[in-house]
Amino acid sequence: MSVRIQEADFDTAAEIAAMRRGNPKIGAIASFIGVVRDINDGDAVSMMTLEHYPGMTERSIGAIIDQARGRWEVLDALVIHRVGTLKPTDQIVLVVVACSHRGDAFAACEFIMDYLKTQAPFWKKEVTPQGARWVDARASDDEAAGRWRN
Amino acid sequence: MSGATVTLLYFARLRESLGLAREEMLLPAGVQTLQVLRAHLAARGGAWAEEMAPARKLRAAVNQTLAQGDAPLKAGDEVAFFPPVTGG
């Protein structure tokens, strides 16, 4: 299980290969990649900066992975989240979950991402033709995380 | 608990509008929970009153864990205030 917060880009294939290496129990790997779009709330986005709360970020994502491990049979999990300045088409976040079977892998990957969106302390500030603005949290993200509370 | 010093952190929009990222504060007598601290900060007026207003959607963490308003505060705590998160 691993959590990395970094400015640098990531190589999904290399990360998955590293996770698979020497672990013959793995039968399914699900991954999610979040990418910067060039539009948000109807405005063109030319750039964004991601701020976070060092320490709490790693701790909160670690806790989310622990919750996922309590619900599904997770053999390994990796979350990489970028911070700093990003532009459209840049990768922002990678979640990789390795399990014995696909059902657990798909569910745990989606769960980690839904919780990361609503609990991990990151904030986006985007640059549009109207100037720079802090991105507002979305109610739909709260609803997505709420689906898992049962 | 009076006489207790805590570290306060502000992030993102809050940090910008308050013009402050971090401060040490000696908790005044009677400021024993997160929600009372928030009201105490709002009483500074100006941007503080605006950002800490009860109607404002605000999140807080005590010692790097999300916390509710009734969370108790003690000496040495790291208390952070920030807007709802927007990562991912």
Closest chain B residue by Cα to residue A64: B65
Whether B69 is in a domain gets the answer yes
Mean pLDDT of B44-52: 98
Distance CA A115, CA A95 (A): 12
For chain A, the domains span 2-133
Closest to B60 (Cα-Cα) out of A121, A62, A143, A55: A121
Query: A129 exposed, middle or buried (CB, 10 Å; 0-12, 13-18, 19+)?
Result: exposed
Closest to B50 (Cα-Cα) out of B42, B38, B62, B58: B42
From chain B, the residues in CB contact with A52 under 8 A are 87
Is B86 in contact with A123 (Cβ distance < 8 A)?
yes
Cβ–Cβ < 8 Å for B84, B14:
no
Q: How far is B58 from chain A (nearest CA, A)?
A: 11
Whether B2 is in a domain gets the answer no
Phi, psi of B28 (to 5 degrees): -65, 155
Q: How far is B61 from chain A (nearest CA, A)?
A: 9
A&B contacts, CB < 8 Å: 74
Is B85 in contact with A121 (Cβ distance < 8 A)?
yes
Distance CA A61, CA A143 (A): 19
Helix axes A56-71, A102-119, angle to 10 degrees: 150
Q: How far is B12 from chain A (nearest CA, A)?
A: 6
Q: How far is A149 from chain B (nearest CA, A)?
A: 17
Asked if B21 is an interface residue toward chain A (Cβ–Cβ < 8 A), one would say: no
Name which CATH class applies to A2-133: alpha beta
Whether B43 is in a domain gets the answer yes
Whether B3 is in a domain gets the answer no
**Number of domains making up chain B:** 1
pLDDT per residue as tens, chain A (150 positions): 999 999 999 999 999 999 999 999 999 999 999 999 999 989 999 999 999 999 999 999 999 999 999 999 999 999 999 999 999 999 999 999 999 999 999 999 999 999 999 999 999 999 999 999 999 999 999 999 999 986
Closest to A25 (Cα-Cα) out of A104, A88, A78, A129: A104
Whether the pLDDT of residue B1 is over 70: the answer is no
Cβ–Cβ < 8 Å for A48, A86:
yes
Whether the pLDDT of residue B35 is over 90: the answer is yes
Distance CA A61, CA A67 (A): 10
pLDDT at A70 (0 to 100)? 98
ipTM above 0.85, yes or no: yes
Whether B88 is in a domain gets the answer no
Is A135 in contact with B86 (Cβ distance < 8 A)?
yes
Distance CA B45, CA B40 (A): 10
From chain B, the residues in CB contact with A120 under 8 A are 85, 87-88
Q: What is the CATH number of the domain that holds B53?
A: 3.10.20.30
